[in-house]
Amino acid sequence: MSAAALLRDVFGFDAFRPGQQEIVEAVVDGHNTLAIMPTGGGKSLCFQLPALVRDGVTVVISPLIALMRDQVRGLREAGVEAGALTSGNTPEETDAVWAALEAGTLKLLYMAPERLAAGGTMQMLRRAGVGLIAVDEAHCVSQWGHDFRPDYLRIGELRQMLNVPLAAFTATADAETRAEIVQKLFDGQPPTTFLHGFDRPNIHLAFAVKDGPRAQILNFAGTRKGQSGIVYCGTRAKTETLSKALSDAGHLSCHYHGGMQAEDRRIVERRFQQEDGLIVCATVAFGMGIDKPDIRWVAHADLPKSIESYYQEIGRAGRDGAPAETLTLFGPDDIRYRRQQIDEGLAPPERRAADHGRLNALLGLAEALRCRRQNLLDYFGEASGPCGNCDLCDKPAEIFDGTTAVRMALSAALRTEEWFGAGHLIDILRGDLTDKVKQRGHDSLPTFGVGNDYDKRQWQAIFRQMMGHDLMRPDPDRHGALRMTDHARPILRGEATIELRRDTIRAAKGTGPKVRMLVSEEDAPLLSALKAKRRYLAEQANVPAYIIFNDRSLIEMAERKPNTLDQMAGIGGVGAKKLESYGRAFLEVIAGAVDDVHPMRRKLAGRDEGVIYDRLLEVQAALSRGPHGADKPMSCSASMLAKVAQMRSADADQLARVMGEKYAERFGDAFLEVLEAG
């Protein structure tokens, strides 16, 4: 498998981070390498990925036992044979590592440097078929640094004995330490060295909220007429329509996507390389082979997939070092689409959660409060000052203290036990008496209606910014319900405040024609989960997805949420055979969406009171407009219903005390009947 395919399939990343690709290529090619990268920059991938490409086992020397164990666990979960020999091992673990080494199946062997001193280790490694040595925290070899580990000095000896390439990694970049690493690990022979440096200061960075996106792109291109540029689009269809619009406006433009014939793609690539001033409207398929140095601008007509993809794509501009410009458009629909892509993926839940986190990081950049470059470099672990070459340095954002709004939003989520998405939380905050709010009794929450200062769109902008600050993430296990992260705790406890951007809240208005959604916003994550299950089953059975169930059936399931096989049988397209083969699997997905059951009711699940509660709900629904259907609508809160459900031998007086006169008058008699029958 190629490095790019492994990156995606094993590690689940869609793009390399700055610097990674060059390092991976050098290590795969068997060069001795020294890479200096900031902490958090993604060093481990630079030896883990080559370890999978190269023959034999890669020995990884690291001084940090906890970190080694962590990495081994992560690799094993991704299906990679990895093991560690550390003092923390149980005898069984050690035996398993030895056995895998003997069998020749181990791909990565982590080891603390002390191990090299132990008798027999060198011999064992000589026999094991080692193909590569990777040294993490390589500065530990420096006698003058405070992290000096005497056993690191044995690594040079190991390299000579095994006569295999060595890749060394560190975050410490000063020249003395570097020279010492070269001396001690590489015997004084300078390795291929990478010193990053992620910043591309000649590239101007800018983001804008979509507001007539086609005109925005035409404007941007219009002021750069005759310059070579790329417009990245989210869909193949858009590459074609945008390219046409640009041509109509007098630009030299063509489109490019993975669905085109190989020959046609070659033609576009060649033209772009050779002609001056051509614009290519493309999907991300365009780029890998492009090394044109004088691309003057890159625009994103849609939000990229992650902060890593963003960096990679804008990085194609201005390789010659001359000024280059970028513009990235984004809107609520893009964010929804990207979230949906994650939810519909088959990655394990932890990885999907991490992907939501990475998308949050990109939103954080899109709605950054201050210098974008600082924000971007900070994400990649590099400290810097304001850059003077981004839209926010050009014109500072308008900022206000959003602490109160954010606290309200967090509290609405917590009081509903983190079972709901932004749409419902906003209804609660704004005091909108929707059916769902009434059904669940959320109108009795103290947060109900406290957020009237902002309209719906403004609240949506606030929620978006909260994700950008990674205060909340959609939980794939709860079909997109928002859950608070640890970052939010200090704000909730009143120990920290938070600033938000006022301009994006004020500008929050419609972004052109609304995309047609197949189901309501609240049901969308469930539909995504159903589709993911369908894809999984289809892959297992090696049949096209629609053979399992067609979209109409899934949409109906998402809307009606059957919770028994009987109810499932009532869904269109669910015949007896399919019910038997797949019914249970899809019911399980839906049962995850317990958000449909009020927490009060959940507490009663599996008890007689639960059944009574349901009967009370029915009776109440029948009487909500009074016995003749002509009165003012009324409904009891969920907690009132739960209380009633638990009153065993009730009489009318007791009931009136619990419910209050008004409610007892409407519902009392009917409820008593239910209680007596139960």
Distances, alpha carbon 32 to alpha carbons 47, 62, 160, in Å: 12, 18, 12
Q: Name the one range near ligand ADP by CB under 6 A: 37-45, 75-83, 180-188, 566-574.
A: 37-45
Quote the CA–CA distance of 134 and 89 in Å, as a whole number. Answer: 21
Task: Establish whether the linkage from the previous residue to 212 is cis, with ω within 30° of 0.
Answer: no
Tell me how far, at minimum, the Cβ of 391 lies from Zn ion, in Å: 8
Q: Which residue is nearest to ligand ADP (CB)?
A: 42
Collapse the DSSP code of 36 into the 3-class scheme (helix H, G, I; strand E, B; otherwise coil) and give the result.
strand
Please identify, using beta-carbon distances, which residue of 20 and 411 lies nearer to ligand ADP: 20
Choice from 3, 6, 35, 45 touching ligand ADP (CB under 6 A): 45
User: Among Zn ion, ligand ADP, none, what does residue 42 contact (CB within 5–8 Å per kind)?
Assistant: ligand ADP
Q: Please, what is the end-to-end C-alpha distance for the chain in angstroms?
A: 64
User: Among ligand ADP, Zn ion, none, what does residue 140 contact (CB within 5–8 Å per kind)?
Assistant: none
Helices 652-659, 661-677: crossing angle, 10 deg rounding: 130
Q: Name the one range near ligand ADP by CB under 6 A: 42-50, 315-323, 490-498, 585-593.
A: 42-50
User: Among Zn ion, ligand ADP, none, what does residue 83 contact (CB within 5–8 Å per kind)?
Assistant: none
User: Among ligand ADP, Zn ion, none, what does residue 390 contact (CB within 5–8 Å per kind)?
Assistant: Zn ion
User: Among Zn ion, ligand ADP, none, what does residue 393 contact (CB within 5–8 Å per kind)?
Assistant: Zn ion
Tell me how far, at minimum, the Cβ of 375 lies from Zn ion, in Å: 9
Asked whether 353 and 476 are in contact (CB, 8 A), the reply is yes
User: Among Zn ion, ligand ADP, none, what does residue 373 contact (CB within 5–8 Å per kind)?
Assistant: Zn ion
Could you say which DSSP state residue 338 is in? H
Please identify, using beta-carbon distances, which residue of 15 and 377 lies nearer to Zn ion: 377
Quote the CA–CA distance of 607 and 592 in Å, as a whole number. Answer: 20
Residues 364-423 that bind Zn ion (CB under 5 A): 371, 373, 387, 390, 393
**What are the structure tokens assigned to 369, written together?**
């409060």
> What residues contact residue 536 under an 8 Å CB cut-off, 6+ apart?
346
Q: Binding residues for ligand ADP, how many (CB under 6 A)?
A: 13
User: Among Zn ion, ligand ADP, none, what does residue 387 contact (CB within 5–8 Å per kind)?
Assistant: Zn ion
The contact pattern for ligand ADP, residues 17-36, with x = CB under 6 A and - = no contact, is x--x----------------
Please identify, using beta-carbon distances, which residue of 307 and 484 lies nearer to ligand ADP: 307
Q: Which of 316, 311, 403, 402 is nearest to 365 (CA)?
A: 311
User: Among Zn ion, ligand ADP, none, what does residue 45 contact (CB within 5–8 Å per kind)?
Assistant: ligand ADP
Tell me how far, at minimum, the Cβ of 248 lies from ligand ADP, in Å: 38
Supply φ then ψ for residue 447, to 5 degrees.
-85, -5
Please identify, using beta-carbon distances, which residue of 384 and 434 lies nearer to Zn ion: 384
Asked whether 249 and 276 are in contact (CB, 8 A), the reply is no
Quote the CA–CA distance of 429 and 470 in Å, as a whole number. Answer: 20
The contact pattern for ligand ADP, residues 261-300, with x = CB under 6 A and - = no contact, is ----------------------------------------
Please identify, using beta-carbon distances, which residue of 370 and 457 lies nearer to Zn ion: 370
User: Which helix H or strand E contains 400, and what residues bound it?
Assistant: strand 399-401
Choice from 16, 232, 272, 454 touching ligand ADP (CB under 6 A): 16
Quote the CA–CA distance of 329 and 362 in Å, as a whole number. Answer: 12
User: Among ligand ADP, Zn ion, none, what does residue 16 contact (CB within 5–8 Å per kind)?
Assistant: ligand ADP
Quote the CA–CA distance of 547 and 544 in Å, as a whole number. Answer: 6
**What are the structure tokens assigned to 365, written together?**
């950049």
Tell me how far, at minimum, the Cβ of 390 lies from Zn ion, in Å: 3
Cβ–Cβ contacts within 10 Å for residue 12, how many? 16
**What are the structure tokens assigned to 366, written together?**
């899109």
Quote the CA–CA distance of 521 and 422 in Å, as a whole number. Answer: 9
Asked whether 18 and 311 are in contact (CB, 8 A), the reply is yes
The contact pattern for Zn ion, residues 149-168, with x = CB under 5 A and - = no contact, is --------------------
Rounded (5°) CA angle 572-574-577: 155
Asked whether 134 and 47 are in contact (CB, 8 A), the reply is yes
The contact pattern for ligand ADP, residues 300-339, with x = CB under 6 A and - = no contact, is --------x-------------------------------
Widest pairwise Cα distance in the chain: 95
Tell me how far, at minimum, the Cβ of 223 lies from Zn ion, in Å: 20
Residues 154-183 that bind ligand ADP (CB under 6 A): none
Query: Any idea of the CA torsion for 529, 533, 538, 544, to the nearest 10 degrees?
Result: -20
Quote the CA–CA distance of 185 and 154 in Å, as a whole number. Answer: 9
User: Among Zn ion, ligand ADP, none, what does residue 17 contact (CB within 5–8 Å per kind)?
Assistant: ligand ADP
Choice from 26, 37, 359, 428 touching ligand ADP (CB under 6 A): 37
Quote the CA–CA distance of 644 and 650 in Å, as a whole number. Answer: 9
Tell me how far, at minimum, the Cβ of 462 lies from Zn ion, in Å: 24
Does the footprint of ligand ADP cover residue 42 (CB under 6 A)?
yes
Choice from 44, 62, 375, 511 touching ligand ADP (CB under 6 A): 44
User: Among ligand ADP, Zn ion, none, what does residue 40 contact (CB within 5–8 Å per kind)?
Assistant: ligand ADP
In whole angstroms, how large is the CA radius of gyration of the chain? 30
Helices 65-77, 43-53: crossing angle, 10 deg rounding: 50
Q: Which residues of the chain form contacts with Zn ion (CB under 5 A)?
A: 371, 373, 387, 390, 393
- What is the binding site for ligand ADP (CB under 6 A)? 13, 16-17, 20, 37, 39-45, 308
